[in-house]
A and B are shown apart, each in its own frame.
Chain A
Amino acid sequence: MSTAAPARVTGGTAGGARRDRWRTAYLPRALHPAAWWVWALGLATAASRTTNPLLLGLVIAVATLVVVARRGDAPWAMAFRLYVWVAVLVVVLRVAFRVVFGGGAGGPVLLDLPTVPLPEWVAGLTLFGPVTAQALLGGFYDGLRLATMIICVGAANALANPKRLLKAVPGALYEVGTAVVVALSLFPQLAESVLRVRRARRLRGGGGSGIRALRGVVVPVLEDALDRSLELAAAMDSRGYGRTEQVAPGSRVLAGVCTVGGLVGVCVGVYGLLDGTSPAVLGAPMLVLGVGLAAAGFGLSGRRVRRTHYRPDRWQVPEVVTAGAGVVVGLGVWLALSLDPAAVNPSLSPPVWPEVGLPALAAVLVGVVPAVATPRTPLTAEEVGA
């Protein structure tokens, strides 16, 4: 409060007004979920270009730091730990596979396991055999790359409210978004209903075993779920869900073709961009074409639905900074590595200490900016108690 007072005095000038707006944008609030996703996908793109453990480790550190600094206390924010465990599991599995199925040849042998011959029909595969340092390291680098990307996605999930993200989808995808939201909230109800019915089964003496017992649980749960769904559908209908404007069928077909074609284009484009070996035309140009087509499709079909948003997340300065940081990390690492190809995949034979140039490191470090340059996420306890 005391800091706001002088700002109001100088609010008459253009600079003062901008500063006020700036301060408002930095009051504690949840950031636009799309900003976090752009940031996280930028980090993931950077990670996908390299197996250099130094760079990957730095990406993980940056993602973790931002999550710790800016996540709330909502259930989805707690999911980050789960992603980390999955990432660890991926690395362990990758290394274990190299041991079990034998790795590439060469390099110093660390452990000489006996080879187990497999039958004819799986020719080409052997179990165990000598374990080389190169195979282990290769497995580790490979696993670490995938693990880093998983952690980046986990960071986005922990920072962005999934339901707010669904609210921000374009009008054309509104029905799909609603279906997902309803399914998300029905799932805990289904679990609750299963527990309740199982408990009730005990009241009838447990009711035998096998099919009969299963039926005793499944039938009441399904009846319950069906009742609820009908009730929900009736409620949504009477509250105006699905009020639409009339449109010509031709325009609907056109919108559908544009949307589907655009989405296919985006998929191909993203694949082309991430996979370094595909022809260049399948990369950025395809992505741009796909995005354009999809946008046209969404625009056309969105015209049919008339709806407003209550307190939408607005795209303000911190959102621009966050998304921008992600883009800089992605582009920066890509540029830095194309100038310094040796750092992309550190040599395995002979195994050497990986090296990485300053530009790539600096690019990744930009990703840490959102940890300080975003408003604090309010905790739910504060919101309730306010």
Chain B
Amino acid sequence: MIRFEDVTITYAGAARPALAHVELAVPEGELALVAGRTGSGKSTLLRAVNGLVPHFTGGHLEGRVSVAGLDTRDRPPRDLAHLVGYVGQDPLAGFVTDTVEEELAYGMEQLAVAPSVMRKRVEETLDLLGIADLRRRPLRTLSGGQQQRVAIGAVLTTDPRVLVLDEPTSALDPTAAEDVLAAVTRLVHDLGVTVLMAEHRMERVLQYADRLLVVDDAAVRQGTPQELLVDSPVAPPVVELARVAGWTPLPLSVRDARRRATHLRFELAATPAYAGPPVRVAAGAAPVLTASSVVVRHGQVVAVRGVDLGLHAGEVVALMGRNGSGKSSLLWALQGSGPRHTGQVDVGGEDPGSVTAARARALVGLVPQTAADLLYLETVDEECAAADRESDAAPGTCRRLLERVAPGVPGDRHPRDLSEGQRLSLVLAVQLTAAPRVVLLDEPTRGLDYTAKAALGAIVADLAAQGTPVVVATHDVEFVAAVADRVVVMAEGEVVADGPTVEVVAASPIFAPQVAKVLGAPWLTPAQVREALVGVAP
């Protein structure tokens, strides 16, 4: 269905090709997962399928890309619209109309589908994706998972044979991600649509994938997931666990792994009892930040409903909960820059909400969800110099911090040309320049690959070891399992669970990481299992 024949793609002005000599064939009706590190050329590969590369982005394409026998060289993306449905990373940015029903019909209107057929297909698509109750809703009021399903529905109505999805679940909470994936697998099974999907959170998709395409340094390797994951640099926790335990062939789903794990469970039970990660909080110490009865309202909507929270030195707290449960509002209220209607926040006797912005920054540092909003200068060095000035730090402080969190970021590079992980590191360094007593991170793992996430985890642990409490709001259960000491779960603006990671996360059907699902508590990460088996005290 999709064929790449010796394809090399070079963007204008780039020294090296984004993809080099790619040979690829995805047969009809398969779900192919594209994996690889950030910036490895995954998006280029996806966009080449419907001709957005090079027709839209510019650049030079050698070789031949064909879909169902049609060469993308002769046809711009609009002339492939009946064949290939493409959904970009941010579904909201790709919406043309403003209600669900009109968005579903838009593509068909462009292709001049007869009105009676349109009417029928819109109804079918609404049912197929389970969004019939949303039909008249404005697109902007939908949640992330709903938007993603509408975006998929909007390209499905033109009856394409191929569906290309760029990171469809990265920004979603676990439940919303399951909804989207269930819809996609239904398309593959029932309609025989060929799906090509890029996803950093491989653990979510791997079990459904027939074929894995690993993009590494402009080259693409393809094969079944079992073959490729044996030595792939990026692998989900369940595969890492299998590598530790030496299982072959590799299990891809939690269910496969659990059936193999009987022996491993016995083995682990024989090791010295694992007590969970070391406790970093000194008993009886006063909290660095105390918040009591915090209420945040946006108009009529109550985002945070009387939350009490204490953060102790050396603690890493994960803030979890579905999209819209009030996590971001709470973080902004704690930092003092966001609204707070009632309640007290106290950091060393000062309230970050009632001091100047510069002082609040020295009390609590926040890295917001869209971290790039903080950057406005042309080079990394200029940003660093500005950060030193803003927080009256000695010149070079920010650059030194950046070197520590992400070594080797070129100083003359434009911040927008950095990788997602490097940009996040830069913003973190800018915020750390003020030496805040508390650090808050809002969805930092969005768009990070496994390697970048591990690096971020090390930075967070490092900060905590120096006595700075760190709060991470995230959907990423694997990241939480690896870094957090304590988990706070929010729902409808209230705290519904607050306790040690093992207790809160391992017992939850939704927030449990893969290793906990396979082995049960207290095992949360492959690293813990490896340490226990090798016999090194954790």
Contacts and interface: CB of A to CB of B under 8 A. Distances in A.
A220 B113 contact: no
Interface string A335-360: 00000000000000000000000000
B360 to A, nearest CB: 8
Interface string B84-102: 1110101001111110011
Given A236-B96, A238-B84, A310 B376 contact: no
Given A163-B98, A203-B361, A223-B416, A234 B107 contact: no
Contacts of B88: 231, 234-235
A145 B80 CA distance: 55
Contact of A220 (B77, B360, B376): B376
Contact of A202 (B47, B105, B112, B337): B337
Nearest to A233: B56
B296 to A, nearest CB: 13
Given A182-B96, A197-B373, A231-B88, A307 B79 contact: no
Given A203-B374, A307-B112, A234 B79 contact: no
B434 interface: yes
Contacts of A308: 108-109, 112-115, 118
B527 interface: no
Contact of A310 (B122, B335, B358): B122
A54 B112 CA distance: 51
A309 B109 contact: yes
A181 B97 contact: yes
Given A309-B109, A310-B105, A235 B96 contact: yes
A240 B357 contact: no
A112 interface: no
A312 B102 CA distance: 11
Interface string A210-244: 00000111011001100110011111111111110
B390 A207 contact: yes
* Secondary structure type dominating chain A contacts: helix
B94 A232 contact: yes
Nearest to A219: B376
B337 A199 contact: yes
- Interface centre among A203, A206, A223, A384, by most chain B C-beta atoms within 10 angstroms, is A203
Contact of B52 (A185, A216, A238): A238
A171 to B, nearest CB: 11
A178 B85 CA distance: 21
Contacts of B189: none
B81 A238 contact: yes
Contact of B82 (A181, A185, A202, A240): A240
B391 A243 contact: no
B111 interface: yes
Interface residues of B, number: 72
Contacts of A215: 376
Contact of B361 (A205, A241, A383): A205
Contacts, number: 164
A307 B375 CA distance: 43
A190 B358 CA distance: 27
A216 B374 CA distance: 8
Interface stretch (B217-225, B313-321, B364-372, B451-459): B364-372
A310 B154 CA distance: 13
Interface in B403-462: 416, 430-431, 434
A231 B431 CA distance: 29
A203 B431 CA distance: 8
Contacts of A181: 96-97
A170 to B, nearest CB: 15
Contacts of A203: 335, 337, 357, 361, 365-366, 368, 374, 431
Given A237-B78, A308-B115, A206 B372 contact: no
B265 interface: no
B146 interface: no
B118 A310 contact: yes
B59 interface: no
B90 A231 contact: yes
A384 B137 contact: yes
A215 B52 CA distance: 32
Interface in A221-274: 223-224, 227-228, 231-243
Q: Which of A237, A307, A311 has its CB near the most chain B CB atoms (within 10 A)?
A: A237
B497 to A, nearest CB: 28
Contacts of A199: 332, 337-338, 368
B89 to A, nearest CB: 8
Given A203-B431, A237-B77, A231 B376 contact: no
A172 to B, nearest CB: 16
A52 to B, nearest CB: 43
A310 B106 CA distance: 8
Nearest to A208: B390
B423 to A, nearest CB: 12
A24 interface: no
A208 B115 CA distance: 57
Interface-central residue, B101, B115, B122, by most chain A CB under 10 Å: B115
B323 interface: no
11 contacts: A197-B373, A200-B370, A205-B357, A220-B376, A223-B372, A234-B86, A235-B93, A238-B77, A238-B86, A240-B81, A310-B122
Given A199-B338, A237-B78, 18 more contacts: A199-B332, A202-B337, A202-B357, A204-B431, A206-B357, A208-B390, A219-B376, A219-B377, A223-B372, A228-B93, A239-B155, A241-B110, A243-B78, A308-B115, A309-B109, A310-B102, A310-B119, A311-B115
Which 3 residue pairs across A and B have the least CB separation, nearest first? A235-B94, A240-B81, A310-B105
Interface of A: 163, 178, 181-182, 185, 188, 196-197, 199-208, 215-217, 219-220, 223-224, 227-228, 231-243, 306-312, 380, 383-384
